[in-house]
Amino acid sequence: MNINTDSKRRQVPDDYLVAGIDPHKKTHTMVLMTRGEKVLTSLKFDNSKSGFEHAVKRVDDQISKSGNKGVIFAMEAGGHYWRNLAYFLNKRGMWVCLVNPFTAKRLREGKDINRAKSDMRDARVMAELVISNGIPQTNLPQGTYAELRAVYNAYQRLIKERSRLKSRMKSLLDQLFPEFCQVFDNVCSKTAMQVLGCCLAPVDIARMQEAQFIACIRKGFTGRALKMQSLQKLYLLGKASIGAEEGARGIALELRLMTQQLLLLSEQIEQTKNILQDLLLSIPESRCILSIQGVGHIAAAGILAETGPLQAYRNAGQLIKLAGTNPTSWESAGKRHSITHMSKKGRPKLRSCLWIAAIGLLRSNPDFKEWSRIRRERELHMHPLKPRETVGAAANRLLRIIYALVKNGSMYCLPQVNEVLV
């Protein structure tokens, strides 16, 4: 028997009830069951304080009637509708655990071959999962960690929005001024943004003298200096551009509006980054993580935002499993897959943050460089790692180092050349 699953199952006390909850925007559904999977009561309650209190009162009444000592609330962690209820119950000192929606879906389909689905059925599946598989570890972010996660999520959304805008701008430039990207590789550079903000189409540039064009671009420029050679090259390309004239001024107007949005987004990203760094530095263990050469403030903030306090984990293996970077084997009929993939069953944001951080470490950290070289160049019978496998292994090594540093309260030091790298 799986030791972890068995220990999780033993965590559910015999004298406790289990309440499965299916959260929604307006109305939540709850099914209260015993350890023997006998349904005591089921109800729907509003997503409001009065609704929450009504549900807690019903549960307390059932506990008194049945003579049990307490209750475990299990709810599906899909979307964001579970958050308010989970924190409400947590503040009341009640036992709350979150269930993976994918796991709940597979159990529901396995038990109901006709794939019937209803709110009551979903709530019952939540309770059945806890009774049969045990309590999944749930750590709700509190205090600074909750703020850090919220700000980091906002930062990630702003970064994605900026990338979306840049892609849209390049798409419009391919129609209006295909030669623009030959001059400016980065459409977010100050000179490029100034040109796009002037709302000039190639047909307008062709009617100007070079001095008029540069004077038009220079007007209102607040940067340090314009790239004159780039502007001169852009002027020559604009006079011979293959961009279509039909609808050119409308596309140029849209580019100017998107440039304004991009400037605003850049300011918001800088503000969010500053808040993120302030929150990160207020957490004691951040100093241990930042001592690792090659790990920046954003990477450290992303790791702590997703993991929460590292003291809550028993070992580094739990962090690796949380990230979903643990290697998993595939075997059938005595045959094994030649490639060992990541499980990818953890938190994708944490995995993405670790992947980017590992690439930076393999480039700039001498310790990780030598460590990866040994694993890439070892003998064939020792299974040398491929480039992508090296990045995944480096991400797991980073988590082990972070856990060890935080647990011991020490700072990272580069090993000596003659030390054996592990």
The model's pLDDT over 403-419, given as tens digits with 9 standing for 90+, comes to 999 999 999 988 765 45
Residue 113 CB contacts under 8 Å (≥ 6 apart), including other chains: none
Predicted pLDDT at 115: 67
What's the CATH code of the domain at 264? 1.10.287
Same domain, 307 and 358: yes
Listed residues 87, 107, 140: the one ending a domain: 140
- 414 lies in a domain? no
Residue 275 reports pLDDT greater than 90: yes
Per-residue model confidence (pLDDT) at position 271: 96
In tens, the pLDDT along 306-342 reads 999 999 899 999 999 999 998 887 777 767 666 778 8
pLDDT score recorded for residue 300: 95
Would you call 39 helix, strand, or coil by DSSP? strand
Domain-embedded: residue 173: yes
Give the residue from 140, 173, 189 where a domain finishes.
140
Q: Could you tell me how far CA 7 lies from the centroid of its own chain?
A: 29
Q: How many domains are there within the chain? A: 3
Co-location of 308 and 210 in the same domain? no
> Is 112 within a domain?
yes
Instruction: Return the pLDDT at 8.
Output: 59
For residue 420, tell me if it sits in a domain. no
Interval 64-92: pLDDT, tens = 998 888 899 998 888 889 999 999 999 99
What's residue 288's pLDDT?
93
CA gap 118, 299 in Å, rounded: 41
Residue, of 11 and 121, whose pLDDT is higher: 121
Q: Is the pLDDT of residue 422 over 60?
A: no
Q: Who's near 49: CB < 8 A, 6+ residues apart?
A: 88
| Pair 313, 403: CB distance under 8 Å | yes
Distance (Å) of CA 17 to CA 23, 64, 73: 19, 11, 9
Q: Is 233 exposed, middle or buried (0-12, 13-18, 19+ CB in 10 A)?
A: middle
| Residue 315, Cβ density class (10 Å: 0-12 exposed, 13-18 middle, ≥19 buried) | exposed
Report the C-alpha gap between 11 and 288 in whole angstroms: 33
Is 38 in the same domain as 119? yes
The answer on 187 and 105 residing in a single domain is no
Please check whether residue 95 lies inside any domain of the structure: yes
Of 117, 140, 163, the one marking the end of a domain is 140
pLDDT in tens, 20-37: 999 999 999 999 998 888
Q: Considering the domain boundaries, does residue 93 fall inside one?
A: yes
What is the distance between the alpha carbons of residues 95 and 6, in angstroms, rounded to a whole number?
19
| Range of weakest confidence among 30-44, 101-115, 168-182 | 101-115
Residue 330: which residues within 8 A CB-CB, separation 6 or more?
336, 337, 341
Confidence of residue 3 (pLDDT cuts 50, 70, 90): very low
| pLDDT band at residue 150 using 50, 70 and 90 as cut-offs | very high
Task: Decide if pLDDT at 420 tops 50.
Answer: no
**pLDDT at residue 126 tops 80:** yes
Instruction: Provide the strand spans (E) within 175-317.
Output: none
Strand-pairing partners, residue 43, are 30
In a domain, 418, yes or no: no
**Domain limits at 301?**
286-328+340-408
Q: What is the pLDDT of residue 203?
A: 82
Residues 267, 289: contact at Cβ < 8 Å? no
Same domain, 181 and 291: no
Give the residue, 219 or 402, on which the prediction is more confident: 402
Contact residues for 211 (Cβ-Cβ < 8 A; gap 6+): none
Give pLDDT tens digits for 174-203: 888 888 888 888 888 888 888 888 878 888
Cβ atoms 42, 121 nearer than 8 A:
no
- What are 213-254's pLDDT values in tens digits? 888 888 877 767 778 888 888 888 888 888 878 888 888 889
- In whole numbers, what is the pLDDT of the chain averaged over residues? 86
